[in-house]
Amino acid sequence: MALLDILRYPDPRLHKVAKPVTEFGTERLRKLVADMAETMYDAPGVGLAATQVDVHERVVTIDVTEAQEKLMVFINPDITWASEEKQVYDEGCLSVPGVYDGVERPARIKVSAFDVDGKPFEVEADGLLAVCIQHEMDHLMGKVFVEYLSPLKRNRIKAKLQKEERGMQRDAAQRAGRR
């Protein structure tokens, strides 16, 4: 297993639409899922979409348990039903570090997907799991949660993260120069 690099907003690769997985049970798919899970847990986060690690396939890993003991893998997920009732949940994102804001989404959903071997399954979700599934599925469609926010908030977040990125690059260059 290996830790994967997580793309940071506003990286344009986060806006690529993921393609469906067509080959199941392969060693490549198993390794991708294992690496995504390791990366998600290490970050630490509760969900990760393949898009966030620059793999543009419809693969999501999620674990909303405190003890990180119930990894869920959704391949080619599809929301088949969503409640009319909405909820606002403070969301964060591994691609938008340090930023949390309220996003309104359906309170309950049903999602159908496949496991790594291509076996279909369906899950009904509410609470954090419902939010997480919808959030990660947005990534597969090339959408980042900050796009639900006002243009003013989004631009402030973008500017803040770009400034942090420049600082990290400057620090890395200075460390490299000392060697």
Is residue 139 marked as binding? yes
**Separation of first and last alpha carbons in the chain:** 30
Closest CA to 160 of 1, 5, 9: 9
Q: In this structure, what DSSP letter does residue 104 have?
A: E
- The side-by-side arrangement of strands in the sheet containing 59-62 is 47-49, 59-62, 72-82, 108-114, 120-126
Cα gap 40→172, rounded to integer Å: 24
Task: Tell me what pLDDT residue 179 has.
Answer: 65
On the question of pLDDT at 177 being above 70, the answer is yes
Is residue 15 marked as binding? no
Catalytic residue among 69, 136, 147, 165: 136
Q: With cut-offs at 50, 70 and 90, classify the pLDDT of residue 171.
A: confident
How do residues 108-119 score in pLDDT, each as one tens digit? 999 999 999 999
On the question of pLDDT at 1 being above 80, the answer is no
How do residues 8-17 score in pLDDT, each as one tens digit? 999 999 999 9
**Domains within the chain, CATH numbers bracketed:** 12-149 (3.90.45.10)
The tokens describing 96, both together, are 């938008």
Question: Around Cβ 154, how many Cβ atoms within 10 Å?
Answer: 17
38 tagged catalytic: no
Is residue 93 marked as binding? yes
List, in order, residues 6 or more apart from 113 with CB less than 8 Å away: 74, 75, 76, 77, 78, 120, 121, 122, 123
Q: With cut-offs at 50, 70 and 90, classify the pLDDT of residue 38.
A: very high
- Average pLDDT over the chain reads 95
Please state the pTM of the whole predicted model: 0.92
Strands 72-82 and 86-93: unpaired
How do residues 41-52 score in pLDDT, each as one tens digit? 999 999 999 999
